[in-house]
Copies of this chain bind each other. A is one copy, B any other.
Amino acid sequence: MTMPVSDRSTRGDLTRDTLLQAAMQAFAAEGYDKVSLRALAARAGVNQSLIGYHFGHKQGLYRAVFVEIAARIRARLDPEMAAVEAALSEGEGARDRAADFDALFRLTDGVLALMTGPGSDAWARLIMREQQRPTEAFDILYDGFMGRFLDLVERLVARLAGPIEPEAARVLALTVLGQILVFRSARASVLRAMSWRDIDAAAMATIRTALHRNLQALLAAAPP
């Protein structure tokens, strides 16, 4: 007579999740304004009015997409972040430049793969959108992983670059970020300038090599 408990508690969650995935795709591919809830619901195979039921309104759905993105990225970057934290926790005295560089490279490689690798289009575009025109969704991103990432890079480059003002270390960390991000933020120019069709594994290897070389040059110890 009664439905199985699992179904009763699961059916709605499945609908919610289906909508969330479709929304992430659609918002990234077409931009917030161009996405119609009619088309979104149709593509997800879900009734349109269920969007209102599960997320309230369009903005609520948009916001939920970012909570999902932040959670995914945090999970994916956690090993690299933890490695950097481990490297940093070894006190100044016992520092090992090679190990510090290694931790830094793992972190930058991770972010590069995240922002330019296969399947990165969906979230990367949404993140860029929030950088240009931040809404409440930006806070979800910054508090979720961006702040922590920038803080780690800043502390690492400060240690590697030798005596440096805190403000200079922060700017330096941002220019490091910029060297990675440009392959996403200026993607159209990158593809044209490099005559690439997309950023595939070979291209990514080329980029990684250049980045590692750049970081070593930028963080060469000041002459004693």
Inter-chain CA distance A169–B133, complex, in Å, is 33
- CB nearest to A169 among chain B residues: B210
Question: Is the pair B210, A172 in contact by a Cβ cutoff of 8 Å?
Answer: yes
A150 within 8 A of B: yes
Contact of A207 among B133, B138, B171, B180 (CB under 8 A): B171
Interface range on chain A (Cβ under 8 Å from partner) = 35 or more
Please list the residues of chain A having a beta carbon within 8 angstroms of any beta carbon in chain B: 31, 33-34, 125, 128-134, 138, 142, 146-147, 150, 154, 167-168, 170-175, 177-183, 185-190, 192-194, 206-207, 210-211, 214, 217-218, 220
Q: Can you list 13 contacts pairing A with B, beta carbon distance less than 8 Å?
A: A31-B33, A125-B133, A128-B132, A131-B187, A132-B188, A167-B206, A172-B214, A174-B190, A177-B189, A178-B179, A178-B185, A181-B182, A185-B186
